[in-house]
Amino acid sequence: MIVSTDDFNDKDWLNFKKKLKKDIGDTAYKNWLKQLEFLSFESETLSLSVPTKFLRDWIVNHYSDKIKIHSQKFNKNIKILKIVVKPVGGRILHGTARTVKPDQNKFNQTYDIRNNQYVNSSEEFGAPLDPRFDFENFVVGKPNELAFAAAQRVAEADKVSFNPLFLYGGVGLGKTHLMHAIGWKIKNKSPDRKVVYLSAEKFMYQFVRALRYKDTSAFKEQFRSIDVLMIDDVQFISGKDNTQEEFFHTFNALVEQNRQIVISADQSPSDLDGVQERLKSRLGCGLVADIHPTTYELRLGILMEKAKKRGVEIPPKVLEFLSHRIISNVREMEGALNRLVAHATLVGTTITVETAQEVLQDLIRTNNKRITIEEIQKKVAEHYNIRLTDMHSSRRSRSVARPRQVAMYLAKSITSRSLPEIGRKFGGRDHTTVMHAVKKIEELKVQDPNFHEDIELLKRLIDC
């Protein structure tokens, strides 16, 4: 029977299901297709529903061809198959679906038979990869070189070399970035390999949902058909026994099939509290790579890279200042950079150490500790690369005398010491010498903007 109208009625539906059942066999039918329900047929689109997202994905992946062939026997105008998730007792009711716009249900997903692909796959069970996170824009330094090398190895290797790769480190140190980078690299190299990235939280959420809809077999199948599984922030499952159980089994099944697993956490496997011992030991049996807190050099490198990406000119002194003063994590540093750029664009000012100090006041902890003249001398000597003893010596060459004057000036403006007190700390100099130094530096600041910046930078480095 071939009809060419927009007709596909309940009787067609029953016959269609019978044909499907005959084709795929009783067991598979019972497991996968029995719960399919007919919703509507309109403008070349046959809409069906299932109670869960897992079932929907499974059917789309495994049975869309068969559904296509059989449904077209009833109506050759069927071009698009849409499978809507309709939870049991949920909003979309049989017979009223014609009035429900597809977009109203976020679980809707359309499989276009003509192109053999999802039309909208944003609700896939993994999470999308962030295009900003690739290996090229990951800055490597001592603290992250092992993690970086291991991630690259996993992404480039054709065979599984260590399983799992376990990356751990504090917040904002690049774990997620590296995982996405692995994902991109593998996708580019071997588009056929199924790479799934998701947070441990999402893993748990999906598992709980599957339990609720008694659909755990489809849940399991989905994970087990993956080539590379990456689970981020696995510390989330601590104390959640059912999820750990399921995770453990999924993990084992994948390892047995020689599929690559990448895990991240904020602790090493053995330090994960609230995680079952057997899972801990499983997690630690591949390569465990830690990412250490950033160093000044790495922070500076990252900031330079981020500023370059953004295409904004930021004076090196400002970048140095940020790398010195924002040490907690890279995410915060990036946030600071964004704020600075936004401020400069909005207000139309150039970015200087001073504006940075102003705009980022809350990020840069002001420390009330009393600063000593000795500390100032030390910082200034380091900055100008002279010996500390030259702060007290009687040498008069410009290369030494100028830094000494700078230190005197800073001692005057940062501390509450009197001129004679300052003089004494500089090899017993007279208070007029200090006064002269302060005046000289103030003049130079006015004459030379670079010098001005330099002094401001020093001031802020000391004043922390």
Closest to Mg ion by CB, 108 vs 176, is: 176
Token pair in block for residue 79: 């071009």
In the three-class reduction of DSSP (H, G, I as helix; E, B as strand; rest coil), residue 121 is classed as coil
Are the C-beta atoms of residues 45 and 82 closer than 8 Å to each other?
Answer: yes
Closest distance between ligand ADP and the C-beta of residue 199, in Å?
Answer: 10
Are the C-beta atoms of residues 272 and 265 closer than 8 Å to each other?
Answer: yes
Region from 8-16, 131-139, 154-162, 422-430 binding ligand ADP, contact rule CB under 6 A: 131-139
Q: Say how far apart CA 169 and CA 288 lie, in whole Å.
A: 11
Q: Say how far apart CA 62 and CA 83 lie, in whole Å.
A: 13
Q: Is residue 323 at the binding interface for Mg ion, with CB under 5 A as the rule? A: no
Q: Is residue 144 at the binding interface for ligand ADP, with CB under 6 A as the rule? A: yes
Closest distance between Mg ion and the C-beta of residue 328, in Å?
Answer: 15
Q: Is residue 173 at the binding interface for ligand ADP, with CB under 6 A as the rule? A: yes
Instruction: Compute how many other C-beta atoms are within 10 angstroms of the C-beta atom of residue 277.
Output: 8
Tell me 221's DSSP state: H
Q: Is residue 176 at the binding interface for Mg ion, with CB under 5 A as the rule? A: yes
Q: Is residue 329 at the binding interface for Mg ion, with CB under 5 A as the rule? A: no
Task: Please tell me the count of residues contacting ligand ADP according to CB under 6 A.
Answer: 18
* Residue in the shown chain whose Cβ atom is closest to Mg ion: 176
Q: What are phi and psi of 426, to 5 degrees?
A: -105, 55
- Which positions ≥6 away from 409 have C-beta within 8 Å? 437, 438, 441, 442, 455
* Residue in the shown chain whose Cβ atom is closest to ligand ADP: 174
H or E stretch including 232?
strand 228-232
Which residues ranging from 284 to 303 are in contact with ligand ADP (CB under 6 A)? 302
Among 171, 342, 388, 464, binds ligand ADP (CB under 6 A): 171
Q: Is residue 177 at the binding interface for ligand ADP, with CB under 6 A as the rule? A: yes
Closest distance between Mg ion and the C-beta of residue 291, in Å?
Answer: 11
Which residue type sits at 273? D
For helices 216-224 and 53-74, the axis angle rounded to 10 degrees is 90
Strand partners, 230: 197, 262
| x/- map, 42-81, ligand ADP, by CB under 6 A | ----------------------------------------
Q: Is residue 183 at the binding interface for ligand ADP, with CB under 6 A as the rule? A: no
Closest to ligand ADP by CB, 139 vs 231, is: 139
Closest to Mg ion by CB, 291 vs 437, is: 291
Q: Is residue 330 at the binding interface for ligand ADP, with CB under 6 A as the rule? A: yes
Q: Say how far apart CA 323 and CA 308 lie, in whole Å.
A: 16
Region from 26-34, 65-73, 170-178, 425-433 binding ligand ADP, contact rule CB under 6 A: 170-178
Region from 107-115, 167-175, 241-249, 368-376 binding Mg ion, contact rule CB under 5 A: 167-175
| Start-to-end Cα distance in the chain | 83
In the three-class reduction of DSSP (H, G, I as helix; E, B as strand; rest coil), residue 48 is classed as strand
How far does Cα 86 stand from its chain's mean position? 32
Quick one: what does residue 143 bind among ligand ADP, Mg ion, none, with the CB cut-off 5 to 8 Å set by partner type?
A: none
Q: Is residue 139 at the binding interface for ligand ADP, with CB under 6 A as the rule? A: yes
Q: Say how far apart CA 248 and CA 237 lie, in whole Å.
A: 11
Rama region for 251: left / alpha / beta (φ>0; ψ in -120 to 50; rest):
alpha
Closest to ligand ADP by CB, 172 vs 315, is: 172
Closest distance between Mg ion and the C-beta of residue 165, in Å?
Answer: 15
Contact residues for ligand ADP (CB under 6 A)?
133, 137-139, 144, 169, 171-177, 302, 305, 330-331, 334
